[in-house]
Amino acid sequence: QVQLVESGGGLVQAGGSLRLSCAASGRSFRNYGMGWFRQAPGKEREFVATISRYAATDYADFVKGRFTISRDNAKNTMYLQMNNLKPEDTAVYYCGATSAWYIVTVTSQYNYWGQGTQVTVSS
């Protein structure tokens, strides 16, 4: 079992920044690929960014150049640095953990999820 807890969400003006954290406990964090997804009201959960157990990364096109995913295996924590935020980034952000060794961008391949953290970007 892996328990995930997100933090760092909040209200920010357009153009501002936030850093989300995902703290993991349980089985060895370093053996999991990790990802960030988001879900806006009335919409499906969508892929944002992922980092594999080997630190390979991938991003959704709509966040490339603005968001950066990283992980600190010593702290069992993953991060999402979000810069130049836009109102359309408003959503609940979820972190997930996958046992796959390769890059995973679909929700069905994630084994564990956190409870989510709200990000609201005002115009």
pLDDT score for 108:
96
In the chain the beta strands, taken as DSSP E runs, fall at 2-7, 10-13, 18-26, 33-39, 46-51, 57-59, 67-72, 77-82, 91-98, 112-113, 117-122
Query: DSSP labels for 3-23?
Result: EEEEE--EEEETT--EEEEEE
Q: Which pLDDT tens digit goes with each residue over 42-87?
A: 999 999 999 999 999 999 999 999 999 999 999 999 999 999 999 9
Mean pLDDT of 89-114: 96
The residue type found at 64 is: K
